[in-house]
Amino acid sequence: MITEVLTANQLKKEAPVFGQLSFDNHEQVVFCQDKDTGLKAIIGVHNTILGPALGGTRMYDYASEWDALNDVLRLSRGMTYKAAITGLNLGGGKAVIIGDPKKIKTPELMTRFGKFVHTLGGKYYTAEDVGMETSDMDTVREVTPYVTGISEAKGGAGNPSPVTAYGVYMGMKAATKFAYGNDALAGKRILVQGIGHVGEELVRLAAEEDAKVIIADINEERLQEVSKKYGAEIYRGEDLYAETADIYAPCALGATVNDDTINKLKVKVIAGAANNQLANENIHGPLLQKKGIVYAPDFLINAGGIINVYAEIEGYGREEIKSKTENIYNTTLDILNKSKAMNITANASAMSIAEDRIAVRKKEQL
């Protein structure tokens, strides 16, 4: 296979799309540009066997277009696994818009983006992700029905982040039970990295259970605010990854479990909201297992948000959203037990269950 013989740099030059390491049989990748509004976006449709591809739009000031492409490919693939393991009839997709949302995001740009989404005719449904607000999805809704995460006032299920946090909390408790024999978070030292929409709610839930929550963020104002609200300690050390604690909850950006950090980690459990926490699932998953660190797969425990937005398509209500999200506890515990029995990583175990579900559906469709 081409990806095994070329270095990453060679790949960039010689096999720019199909040869990218993050390219994993994606069905379709759409590049969208509009000079008038400054829009540059990429929509990745990874897999639509279980249903239309659903995944949020991330707006970020990427260092290069390569980084943006790599991000959308990794994220859209992750969405396929997330929907499949959660039992939803959805495929995996994601979009990125290149640029600093504070500088270039305008209603005109979001409208133009919505029109591009519309051209896919329902193969891809968008939603909010980093750099997006519910109001942006409302703008997109003006030009296409293929959008979720719109405001309750406009008939949507509203901000998915509190539901995501609740699912992460459920996954964290299941992983704690697996690691410690009971799922109580009281007294546990929990490092929450990133206290944005999801992180803050996770801090609230953990603090309510009398956990010792330590928070880290690059935004000092948020740190002060969240610390005051929930009595959380602000991390002022040099290196969060080297901190001794029970649980590390990555709730900022992905790939924080990598070659640099893996040897420093002194926690018993990793359970957080960020997508793609393992820089390389084939390397860092087994290394965590070897170190005896229990890893709750991100795409499994951060599925609350997709459960919430899926409600807009399927038309189910609050109670069902809650019970489906609560079920993340059972699925996580099952997967951790299964991976132990089979001596494989929890990530690999969750991925194989998701792949089996897709394979069965594919067979039915033949």
- Of 193, 289, 325, 345, the one binding ligand NAD (CB under 6 A) is 193
| Distance of closest approach, residue 25 Cβ to ligand NAD, in angstroms | 23
Contacts of 4 (CB under 8 A, 6+ apart): none
Q: Does 161 bind ligand NAD (CB under 6 A)?
A: yes
| Distance of closest approach, residue 355 Cβ to ligand NAD, in angstroms | 21
| Distance of closest approach, residue 200 Cβ to ligand NAD, in angstroms | 8
Closest CB to ligand NAD among 193 and 261?
193
Residue with smallest beta-carbon separation from ligand NAD: 196
Q: Annotated binding residue at 195?
A: yes
CB 150, CB 127: distance < 8 Å: no
Q: Annotated binding residue at 122?
A: no
- Of 273, 311, 333, 354, the one binding ligand NAD (CB under 6 A) is 273
Closest CB to ligand NAD among 20 and 275?
275
State how far the alpha carbon of 80 is from the alpha carbons of 74, 84, 86, 89, 173, in Å.
Answer: 10, 6, 10, 10, 24
Q: Annotated binding residue at 43?
A: no
With left for phi above 0 and alpha for psi between -120 and 50, is residue 227 left, alpha or beta?
alpha
Token digits for 299?
Answer: 């795409």
Q: Does 279 bind ligand NAD (CB under 6 A)?
A: no
Closest CB to ligand NAD among 36 and 238?
238
Q: Annotated binding residue at 285?
A: no
Size of the site for ligand NAD (CB under 6 A): 25
How far is Cα 131 from Cα 101, in angstroms, rounded to an integer?
Answer: 6
94 noted as active-site residue: yes
Given the structure tokens 């329902």, which residue do they identify?
122
Q: Does 197 bind ligand NAD (CB under 6 A)?
A: yes
**Active-site entry in 94, 105, 188, 212:** 94
Given the structure tokens 């290196």, which residue do they identify?
239
Interface pattern 215-244 for ligand NAD (x via CB under 6 A): -xxxx--x----------------------
Segment contacting ligand NAD by CB under 6 A, of 97-105, 187-195, 231-239, 318-326: 187-195
How far is Cα 335 from Cα 51, in angstroms, rounded to an integer?
Answer: 24
| Distance of closest approach, residue 333 Cβ to ligand NAD, in angstroms | 20
3-class state of residue 191 by DSSP: strand
Q: Annotated binding residue at 197?
A: yes
- The string over 57-68, giving b where at least 16 C-beta atoms fall within 10 Å of a residue's C-beta and e elsewhere, is bbbbebeeeeeb
| Strands, E assignment, the chain | 28-34, 39-47, 53-54, 57-60, 91-98, 124-125, 189-193, 212-216, 233-234, 247-250, 269-270, 294-295
Catalytic residues, which ones?
A: 94
Site residues (vs ligand NAD, CB under 6 A): 129-130, 160-161, 164, 193-199, 216-219, 222, 251-253, 273-275, 302, 305
